[in-house]
Amino acid sequence: MGIQTLEQFISKQQSKFPTAKGEFTHLLQAISLAAKMVNREVNKAGLADILGKQGKQNVQGEEQQKLDVFADQHFMDALEKVGDCCYLASEEHEEGIDLTHQTFYPVGKYMVYFDPLDGSSNIDANVSIGTIFSIFKRVSPEGPLTMADFEQTGRQQVAAGYIIYGSSTMLVYTTGKGVNGFTLDPSIGEFCLSHPNLLIPSTGRTYSVNESNYNQFSTAIKQYLQYCKDMDKETQRPYTSRYIGSLVADFHRNMIQGGIYLYPDTMAYPNGKLRLMYECNPLAFIAEQAGGRASTGLMPILDIMPEELHQRVPLIIGSDKMVKMVEWFIHEYSTAEPTFA
């Protein structure tokens, strides 16, 4: 069949819908362009003055890296200029940007939430990092945005994806009809289809969790982690512990090989630590479209009604059978006293 670029792929998909006007195609092209620019800087970070801390904190109280700021600026700029967005929200900003009031560029119907550089604390160590994005369509027909536009669960996403900057750079996305992965070919500067119809294995032998938080975990999570370490030939346990510390990198490995990622609630973060709108929702959408599962342990991530932009939730995501097992442990120990022990 030969090489199929991302642009060719999305144009082909658009041709299946005669009423499509191309706005969504332009939006994905803008994300692809910004990703290439960030990839360029990531690849030469050791040679340019772009490593290290910015000297400021973001809205989360986290130390901003120089590449954080660079990535945020380029994604914001590309998405604003494309003219197909009405709202942009990033991890790096306290409030989202309502584009319905601006007059510099056309205003579209898409609302984009993104984490411009996930895992940025690993930048100086040359560990894989990534970008995560989530796309909704406004509910109100035109004019100022309304509460209905923001009160959409993850199931109403029209697309979601991530870019991983690693040994190769990949863009993985879904529009609700399966998941496809594209690898950046540096010789032609294009993302090319490399992983069509990605599916997460129904189970795996890898678990990813920050075990330094063990003493803050609930009884249910502690019991599940012990289950992972117990010897059982039938279920091929013990499992292997693999925790990179970059959500995109851990999730991508489990997408390919099977496995589970856990960032449950803790005593320090009783509502969870990861952000619903631009981390959990998009990855949950991808996971479900690839045959996996994403949960808080008590309910599907995609069923959560957002209450605020930077809302935090617990995240248990990956192979379907493995996530269901964690949910079973949480159900079994839900009456255990104390919850945190």
pLDDT in tens, 329-339: 999 987 644 44
Same-domain check for residues 288 and 319: yes
Let me know if residue 227 belongs to a domain: yes
Answer yes or no: is 213 within a domain.
yes
List beta partners, residue 183. 170, 192
Helix (H, G, I), strand (E, B) or coil at 90: strand
Same domain, 135 and 255: no
Last residue of a domain, one of 195, 217, 237: 195
From residue 178, give the alpha-carbon distance in Å to each of 90, 169, 295, 334.
Answer: 26, 20, 19, 34
For residue 232, the enclosing domain spans 206-332
Q: What is the amino acid identity at position 207?
A: Y
- Confirm whether residue 90 is marked as ligand binding: no
Is 199 known as a binding-site position? no
Q: Are residues 282 and 191 in the same domain?
A: no
pTM passes above 0.75: yes
CA dist 123 and 92 (Å) reads: 16
Q: Is there a single domain that holds both residue 100 and residue 163?
A: yes
Is there a binding annotation on residue 119?
Answer: yes
Task: Give the model's pLDDT for residue 32.
Answer: 96
Q: Is 6 annotated as a binding residue?
A: no
Contact at 8 Å (CB) between 252 and 258?
no
Determine the distance from the C-alpha atom of residue 46 to the mean position of all C-alpha atoms in its chain, rounded to a whole number. Answer: 26
Q: Where does the chain show beta strands of DSSP type E? A: 53-57, 63-65, 85-90, 97-98, 110-118, 129-137, 159-165, 169-174, 179-185, 190-195, 206-208, 240-241, 260-263, 274-275, 293-295, 312-313, 315-318
Distance CA 299, CA 48 (A): 45
- The list of the chain residues with pLDDT below 70 reads 1, 15-21, 45-64, 103, 335-341
Structural domain contains residue 294: yes
Residues 132 and 216 in one domain: no
Q: What is the CATH number of the domain that holds 125?
A: 3.30.540.10
User: Based on the domain organization, do 320 and 225 belong to the same domain?
Assistant: yes
Of the residues 195, 218, 242, which one is the last residue of a structural domain? 195
Assign 3-class secondary structure to 161-225: EEEEECCCEEEEEECCCCEEEEEEECCCCEEEEEECCCCCCCCCCEEECCHHHHHHCEHHHHHHH
Task: Determine whether the annotation assigns residue 246 to a binding site.
Answer: no
Which residues, in sequence order, are bridge partners of residue 243? none
Structural domain includes residue 338: no
> Is 16 part of any known ligand binding site?
no
Picking from 156, 176, 195, the residue at the C-terminal end of a domain is 195
Is 263 labelled a binding residue?
yes
Q: Report whether 72 belongs to an annotated binding site.
A: no
Q: What pLDDT score was predicted for residue 22?
A: 75
What is the structure's pLDDT at 18? 53
> Rounded distance, CA 96 to CA 87, Å?
7
Q: Is 51 domain-assigned? A: yes
Handedness of CA 241, 246, 247, 248 (dihedral sign): negative
Q: Residue 151 annotated as binding?
A: no
One domain for residues 48 and 116? yes
The per-residue pLDDT for 341 is 39
Backbone φ, ψ for residue 290 (5° rounding)? -95, 10
Does residue 170 sit in the same domain as residue 214? no
Question: Is 308 annotated in some ligand binding site?
Answer: no
Cis peptide leading into residue 338 (ω within 30°)? yes
- Residue 91 annotated as part of some ligand binding site: yes
Query: Is the distance from CB of 187 to CB of 199 less than 8 angstroms?
Result: no
210 annotated to bind ligand:
yes
The response to whether 110 counts as a known ligand-binding position is no
Residue 187 assigned as binding residue: no
Query: Count of CB atoms within 10 A of residue 337's CB?
Result: 7
Segment 141-199, tens digit of pLDDT: 888 999 999 999 999 999 999 999 988 999 999 999 999 999 999 999 999 999 999 99
pLDDT recorded at residue 252:
97
> Are both 148 and 261 inside the same structural domain?
no
CA dist 220 and 304 (Å) reads 22
Domain count, the chain: 2
**Does 339 reside within a domain?**
no
> 57 with 176, same domain?
yes
**Which pLDDT value is given to residue 336?**
47
Tell me how many helices (H) and strands (E) the chain has.
8, 17
